[in-house]
Structure 1
């Protein structure tokens, strides 16, 4: 069921809103001339009317029971924020130039996560466009945009959105996002949009006045859960399925990243996620290109990505936190919070080979058994990272990896990420070692809510990173501190790190053993005492052998590569990468005694 205001052309507009419990609903036209349009209710609780003399730009709200005006829950644009009237949008007026666009396959993606407000000084969609050519030349072929659904104020991570269909006004609204997507496609870059289907933000959320969008049956960290399986849940399921299709159809988005699906509760016979996958698959067939769904999940549950014919939800891929946690603890030595579950080289080796480190083992942090076996799943079903908005921004001081470890360790992290048989995600600025923090920021207008956010964030930090001064989320300075220092990418060590990332991406795209994201043709072994990890991957005749040293000291060891015919392709300790100089040979033989530099990696490949 289509919901919201759908402009039909020639001054005609169809209004549909789900409000099953209301006795009377009307469209209140706010401007250009104020008048009321009565609506009729169908058997499913949808109120509808088709009106004449409604042009794009018309402002409207819904009048409930003759006395309360509220914005449209499925508003396509909130030009004056979350509390004011909605605007009619004509999606047909965009002159798209991407008719030949066929998308980037998931297994080929190099994803770059960015936050619109802090990626450029202007903080808008259109300000991103001039940087696309450089991102593409660097090697990025997919940008993942943090949520853009209308949130209160002008600065927010985006997870406090209250209008999932409305594009944030301070970023440039619907027109700005469409221009960015169209430009990205012209640069052969896919666009992934982060969407939130597990909760509404607290400010400007009037949905409960329309219908039972939420349920008391389950709780999430953000309050009541969305109603996906209780009475009248059909309208809620339709609301979010329509939202997903809306982004693909009206904005030409290539993939959706679904935030925290572990907080999407559904005990029905057909899980909401499975129904969503089915509807998106049908749309993919209709438009003739693959549209992707990527889940963020804290469950380590292989059912998220297993085909629905095999009892799964059928999502295309999911984020794998275990890779991040394994790598982060080896590089930083941190053991607080969930990091206490990690810290061994053998865990990173398992992340390479099986994806989930916890596949029904006991988790000391969770104090229970956790996870399932994902070893049979292809590598392109897992998105991995060394940093992302959560892992940086949920630290009290918002420190990036560049603030926590040495330059050598940053290079080692790049190698560990881009030599893995999974889909890599870079967090904006990571490629050149951005040192500005990425802090949590909001601009709520409700003083009580601001107080609650401040107290809530302090409580979240109780188990993590206690040193330093707490940064006020409401402060303008907190937001401005989080903006990229983009000019650094061409300076000194920042330039060198960026060149290393670029070179690794090129190797990944040209060496068959790296290009094929096949976990079955992979061996990962460790020397835990020496903190060495050995990674061997192959595809037909192509083979690579990589040695990663997480030790802070030189390590002397005896090499045991699979064959005798290896040529060095990359050594992060070489002077060209601002290292102290390589001690590893150009050709690698079996049973050869070697010394590898601290926190470095060396990549060998079979000779042609």
Structure 2
């Protein structure tokens, strides 16, 4: 085994393994290396820098004893893949399903999640997007406190468990997107500081110190993150990465880290012969994020689109607090459905300034939209989900929209379990202050913040899906609605057409109904509780959330809180 580590400021580096310390040889570029032939797959090791340590490897492939334990040699070649016929999956026309490994099943492991893939196949999704799997302190976490970014959380099943899960997804015809965090590292178990200038020396965001992407010594730091991304795509056969909060990446270089990453991933895609996707989470509303490199963009395949979520949520829930205030009224929903975003240069009341740019010419498939996700549920004090009537209407609009739709685990059956924020920090000061930190983070969002203790195990256990709910008629009925919507989306080319300029939307001046045209297919929604007549000839009903749907050549009558997809006559 050849041990390599970047430690440019050290005068002596040793690897502690096999009950001995071995001195490494330094190079002018700050890298140190040594071949220890007796260190093989599974061998534990740590580094000692100028007598300080021991520390885990910054590029540790495995942390069998957690973030405070030693690293272990991990040989990727030992795993035998069974997905040789997998040619990948394109994001265009796809439906994504986001899940958290620890709460998706009672067991909370990769193996258990793989055992539920039949459910996802029957639902009709094309990708699963799993929340971060890097090692975290304790036994439970959303994943955004990760450290040892090259390793895989042992509580989920470690690196072999992740590979087994990806293998199973590919056999089922489902692609895998992995959520990765490059804008910060967790506050506990982060041992990068002694090795080199990995951080910029200032608070980059609410979540922690900024990563050094453009300061002195930043070349190897950038490489650290680029190589990490390539590892997941190459060695774990992952099909795409969701890049957390890229607006919190502080990079003033002429070539932004995201553009550098896009170029490298494109080259890897050519080498492995399958499409690889990069999906950015960005609140900048900047179309350059998803424009190609040769057009002066950052080259992301797609980006999360919060504006669509906010407009849908406001329309089906009636909530207008916090950042939902700008989205009150159906005019906001009309704009996002036809232009992609609401904030395209106009005033954002929540931010107190102008925000965004127009997305003219950007196809809808480059915008990942949702009715619910981990943030929008879990950032509510009680982690509460939308009720079933709201899900029915919202899903009907989302799954007939020009965007790339994403569902959140359990949404498809109207899960009654919450998705709360939870963590399990080891240090008492972090554990005891986590609840107060969350309260401060969401100051000004319009919530009365009375949330369960994030550190309590019960908070985590309450967030696990209850699969027994599927035995209840109401939950099963909603699941069938979601299945039918996805099947219809796949069957009708009009519903996957990403051209925003071909979407036509009409609304009731009173804010009760909306009609969206997708080619010759019409989606009519009644948000109110009273029966209404929309000015669309009845025609042939393709799918309806509620019966009866009546009408004539003058219009279609919709019961309260209902949605119908039809081809109007004439």
TM-score with structure 2 setting the length: 0.97
2:395 corresponds in structure 1 to: 414
Is the CA contact (8 Å cut-off) linking 1:566 and 1:604 kept in structure 2?
Answer: yes
- Counterpart CA distance in 2 for 1:414 and 1:296 is 21
Where do 1:179-198 residues align within 5 Å?
A: 179-198=164-183
Structure 1 equivalent of residue 563 of structure 2:
601
Confirm whether residue 556 of structure 1 aligns to residue 518 of structure 2: no
State how far apart, in whole Å, the 1-side matches of 2:527 and 2:196 are: 54
**CA offsets 1:254-296 (integer angstroms, 9 cap, x no match):** 0000000000111110000000000000000001111110000
Shift of 1:379: 1.1
Name the residue aligned to 2:10: 22
RMSD, aligned CA: 1.6
The question of whether the paired residues in 2 share the 8 Å contact of 1:78 and 1:85 is answered with yes
User: Following TM superposition, by how much is the alpha carbon of 1:607 offset from its aligned partner in structure 2, in angstroms?
Assistant: 7.5
Distance 1:349 1:438 in 2: 29
Of 536, 553, 559, the residue aligned with 2:517 is: 536
Does the aligned pair in 1 maintain the 2:98–2:129 contact within 8 Å? yes
Q: Distance in 1 between matches of 2:87 and 2:93?
A: 13
Structure 1 range deviating more: 257-266 or 348-357 = 348-357
1:152 to 1:145, Cα distance in 2 relative to 1, 3 A: same
CA apart distance, 1:469? 4.1
What's the counterpart of residue 92 of structure 1? 77
Residues 81-106 of structure 1: CA deviation (Å, up to 9, x unaligned): 11110010111111111111011210
What is the aligned counterpart of 2:424 among 429, 432, 443?
Answer: 443
Question: How far, CA to CA, are the matches of 2:541 and 2:423 in structure 1?
Answer: 48
Query: Is the Cα–Cα contact under 8 Å of residues 353 and 375 in structure 1 kept in the other structure?
Result: no
Change (3 A) 1:217 1:311: farther
Runs (4+) off by over 6 Å: none
Matched with 1:579 is: none
Q: Which runs of 5+ in 2 are unaligned?
A: none
| Residue 297 (structure 1) aligned with residue 274 (structure 2) | no
Contact 2:206/2:441 (<8 A) preserved: no
Of 584, 591, 606 in structure 1, the residue corresponding to residue 550 of structure 2 is 584
Candidates 353, 356, 365, aligned match of 1:368:
353
Find the counterpart in structure 2 of residue 571 from structure 1.
544
Figure out how many residues of one structure are paired with residues of the other and give that number.
570
1:306 to 2:291 alignment: yes
Q: Show the counterpart of 1:391.
A: 376
Separation (CA, whole Å) in 2 of partners of 1:102 and 1:350: 37
Structure 2 CA distance, aligned partners of 1:607 and 1:169? 58
Post-superposition shift, 1:364? Answer: 0.7
- Corresponding position of 1:330: 315
Superposition map of 1:465-504 within 5 A? 466-467=447-448, 469-504=450-485
Point out where structure 1 has 5 or more consecutive residues left out of the alignment.
1-12, 575-581
Report how far residue 40 of structure 1 moved.
1.9
How far is the alpha carbon of 1:462 from its aligned partner? 3.5
Normalised to the residue count of structure 1, the TM-score between the two structures is 0.91
SS in 2 for 1:435: coil
How much does 1:201 deviate? 0.1
Moved more, 66-75 or 451-460: 451-460
The 1:531/1:243 distance shift into structure 2, 3 A limit, reads: same
Q: Answer whether contact 1:125 1:172 (CA < 8 A) is retained.
A: yes
Deviation at 1:522, TM superposition (A): 1.7
In structure 1, C-alpha distance between the alignment counterparts of 2:439 and 2:515, rounded to whole Å: 40
Decide whether the 8 Å contact of 1:396 with 1:465 is kept in 2: no
- Residue 247 in 1 paired to residue 228 in 2? no
Could you say which residue in structure 2 is the equivalent of 1:238?
Answer: 223
Do 2:439 and 2:449's aligned partners in 1 also have CA atoms closer than 8 Å? no
After superposition, what is the alpha-carbon deviation per residue over 1:533-577, rounded to whole angstroms, capped at 9, x for unaligned? 211112xxxx21111222233223433x6xxx9411122122xxx
> For residues 535 and 447 of structure 2, what CA distance do their matches in structure 1 show?
42
2:475 equivalent to 1:513: no
Q: Is 1:452 aligned to 2:433, yes or no? A: yes
In structure 2, what is the Cα distance between the partners aligned to 1:604 and 1:569?
A: 5
Q: How far does the alpha carbon of each residue in 1:343-388 deviate from its partner, in whole angstroms, 9 at most, with x for none?
A: 1212111111111111001011100000111131011101110000
Q: Residues 465 and 480 of structure 1: is their aligned pair in 2 closer, same or farther, counting only changes over 3 Å?
A: farther
Q: Give the whole-Å Cα distance in 2 for the aligned partners of 1:328 and 1:309.
A: 36
**Which residue number corresponds to residue 127 of structure 1?**
112
Which shows bigger deviation, 113-122 or 335-344? 335-344
Q: Secondary structure at the match of 1:170?
A: coil
